[in-house]
A and B are shown apart, each in its own frame.
Chain A
Amino acid sequence: MGGLLASTLVYGLVNSVVLLLTSLGFSLTFGLSGVANFAHGGLYLLSGFLCWLLMHRVGLPFPLAAAATVLLVGLLGAAIYRTVLMSVRGIVLSEVISTFAVGVAIVEFFRWKGFTTYDFTLPALVDGSVDILGVTVDWQRLLIVALGLALTGLLWLFTHRTMVGLALRGMSQDEYTALSVGIESDWAATLSLGLGSALAAVAGIALLPLGIISINIGYDVLLIALAVTVLGGLESTTGLILGSLIVGFAMVITGNYVGPRWSEVVYLAAIVIVLAVKPSGLLGKSKELEDRV
């Protein structure tokens, strides 16, 4: 197989799962609570720096620092709902503005504190590499693929096969009917913000070892999550996977055949095109139509 084609296939798939993992928390929170958590990128960045600080300032070993980071960022997500979002729940614009403000505050806090050097990196969970179709891929990337697919499957099981997951989905579909059977709406939203934030941390800890932790990644991650979920269709797991595959392969194809600096234009273009042509996304549900059926 040709080198460039094989590279496009292998890295297209790897990149797609990277995008899937990056967006999973954002999509989960939106799907379960209706809140577009624009602090997602900030929380992703925070997880990187927090894990680094726990390792290098507190002295925790990496696995412990990673676990503590996921827990703390998850709790922070829950706290964001209780302190920032609860009073504006249901006012979409206010939800977006307030979560975006939290995200910007996190990102800019680290810039202000001087976390702008090349000193901040997280260790890879596994070292070494392997050849696939003649293309060298490091084990960390393969681990990310396995983690992304496993987490997607586990989240599907959680939301479809557990009572808590069903309750969260129920609340997202019809709050007052969910209240009528005893599900509490603030509890559901707190949990979904917490879970989504914890997933942002998992993504950060898995993906940030691929490079350095740079401040602007906080904004990039938010844009990627937006592009993938908007393209696939909000509230749709299959749509999220499809969106990740399309944007993931489009970025790699553009990078390989047009030029690396154009690949980042792809996800921005995806947002604009989808909003102009099919705002509900490829697999998004047209609730208005469905309600009429």
Chain B
Amino acid sequence: MLEVRDLMVFYENALAVNDLSLEVRQGEVVGVFGSNSAGKTTLLNTVAGLTLHLQQRERRKGGMRITLGGAIRLDGEEIGGLSPRARVERGVVLCRERHPVFRDNTVEENLTLGAYLRPSGELKRGLESVYELFPPLVALRKRKAGMLSGGEKEMVAIGTALMARPRLLLMDEPLLGLSPLMQAEVVRGARAIARRGVTILISEQYARPILPIIDRGYVIENGALVVSGTGAELLDNPEVKSAYFGV
């Protein structure tokens, strides 16, 4: 479904993603693991088109020089030159890191915005589907999203992304800063999303909480691929095991 080949991302002279290749097949849940500044967020932002948007913005105003290289293909189609909107239209939807919500909007307004590109007739069914997945959001639907806890915000953020009807959901560190209880809730949600047939590429610093739901994983350091394999294979690697699996 998604094929990333020889991806390079430079911010000025800093190499954020270094000759990275990975593949996500239809229906899989694939993890990307790495420490802070390993390049996980840049990778997901680049697949979603945000890095290209930033590059164009900076070029226009003569600011930071961003260089992109390599190929990003979705179902065989090169999407590396497409706008974020065109990628969302093709089913590639990013749920950004740090539980992003539109803080002045209510929970329901946030979810509604997720369906921005969808036909209006789908809205009601989409909302019901998100509330089924995350029942605590029903009671919070009229609450300003900026006033929610981190875990609640993450549910809203994932729900908003789901409203866009993704075929490939990119989840950037959804567990960051959450309590173990909330982490379990988000992992349960991710598993349920995958069961609905959505392909998922998920990044995390520590792999252990999401190990039960991934089919395969990639470990990256300094923007480059270190090792890849199934969860069991990654666990067999002693260095990877201690650095990213916390065991």
Contact = CB atoms under 8 A, between A and B. Distances in A.
Nearest to A180: B94
Given A169-B102, A293-B146, A176 B50 contact: yes
Contact of B117 (A87, A166, A182, A290): A182
Contacts, number: 89
Of the candidates A169, A180, A184, the one having the most CB atoms from chain B within 10 angstroms of its own CB is A180
Interface of A: 86-91, 160, 163, 166-167, 169-170, 173-174, 176-185, 285, 290, 293
B93 A180 contact: yes
Contact of A87 (B60, B93, B160): B60
Interface in B75-118: 83-85, 88-89, 93-96, 100-105, 109, 112-114, 116-117
10 contacts: A88-B61, A90-B57, A166-B113, A167-B116, A170-B105, A178-B102, A180-B93, A180-B96, A290-B146, A293-B147
A178 B94 CA distance: 10
Of the candidates B50, B114, B116, the one having the most CB atoms from chain A within 10 angstroms of its own CB is B116
Interface residues of B, number: 36
Given A177-B160, A182-B88, 19 more contacts: A87-B61, A160-B109, A163-B113, A163-B116, A166-B105, A167-B116, A173-B103, A176-B96, A177-B101, A179-B84, A181-B88, A181-B113, A181-B114, A181-B116, A181-B161, A181-B164, A182-B116, A183-B113, A293-B146
Contacts of A90: 57, 61
B13 interface: no
Interface in B34-58: 48-50, 53, 57
B112 A166 contact: yes
B88 A166 contact: no
Leading 5 A-B pairs by shortest Cβ distance: A182-B88, A177-B100, A182-B117, A182-B85, A179-B84
Contacts of A290: 103, 146
Contact of B85 (A169, A174, A184): A184
B50 A170 contact: no
A180 B57 contact: no
A240 to B, nearest CB: 15
Nearest to B45: A176
B120 interface: yes
A290 B160 CA distance: 21
A234 B207 CA distance: 43
Given A177-B102, A180-B95, A89 B57 contact: yes
B61 A91 contact: yes
